């Protein structure tokens, strides 16, 4: 072995370059970011528009394993902003209509997928698709799906007055 080679097979110059301290601002580890497809609770930038969601009417709603469980019947929009917040799913021809958080939906090719199994969707609280929801009704639905009141839709409506209409059918 020559005097300029280290025992690891590299030169002394390479060894010292490899062990040189890295400045904190030049770290190779990227800064943490939001998970792919997620958005901060106050942002609707990545959510589809009301017109996009209206176009989903008639789409098959598939549960987490890909089995069809309902048909998309409509949506509810936020009373204050007009942004879509709930997808309404009709369970069977004469079944009830249940809301599913738009933040939990993915749509393509005539289908909407949700991260819940059939029983969770079928047992969700029913809503009247022609009537608005008040704060307490929305909090009940959020609680049913296990969505904390401190994030997403729960955080958006938490400071609204008790009994206030928070979501409604689009105009």
Compute the distance between CA of residue 133 and CA of residue 156 in angstroms, rounded to an integer.
14
pLDDT value at residue 25: 42
Q: What is the pLDDT of residues 6-25, one digit of tens each?
A: 444 444 444 444 444 444 44
Compute the distance between CA of residue 156 and CA of residue 78 in angstroms, rounded to an integer.
10
pLDDT value at residue 46: 82
Q: What is the pLDDT of residues 36-82, one digit of tens each?
A: 333 334 444 589 999 999 999 999 999 999 999 999 999 999 999 99
Of 23, 24, 5, the residue nearest 15 (C-alpha):
5
Read off the pTM: 0.73
DSSP 32: P
List the domains of the chain with CATH numbers: 50-168 (3.90.50.10)
DSSP 66: S
Taking the CA of residue 43 as centre, how many other CA atoms within 13 Å lie in the half-sphere pointing to its CB? Answer: 7
For the record, the structure tokens of 154 come out as: 């729960």
Euclidean distance between the first and the last CA atom of the chain, given in angstroms as a whole number: 82
Compute the distance between CA of residue 66 and CA of residue 157 in angstroms, rounded to an integer.
31
């Amino acid at each position: 072995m020559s005097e300029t080679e280290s025992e690891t097979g590299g030169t002394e110059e390479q060894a010292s370059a490899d062990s040189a301290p890295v400045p904190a601002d030049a770290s190779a580890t990227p800064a943490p970011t939001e998970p792919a497809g997620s958005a901060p609770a106050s942002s609707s930038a990545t959510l589809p528009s009301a017109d996009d969601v209206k176009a989903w009417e008639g789409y098959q709603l598939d549960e987490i394993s890909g089995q069809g469980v309902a048909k998309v019947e409509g949506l509810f929009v936020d009373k204050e902003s007009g942004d879509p917040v709930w997808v309404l799913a009709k369970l069977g021809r004469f079944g009830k209509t249940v809301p599913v958080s738009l933040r939990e939906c993915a749509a393509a090719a005539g289908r909407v997928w949700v991260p819940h199994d059939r029983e969770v969707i079928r047992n969700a609280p029913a809503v009247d698709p022609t009537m608005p929801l008040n704060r307490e009704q929305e909090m009940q639905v959020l609680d049913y799906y296990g969505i904390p009141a401190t994030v997403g839709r729960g955080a958006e409506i938490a400071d609204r007055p008790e009994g206030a209409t928070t979501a409604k059918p689009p105009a």
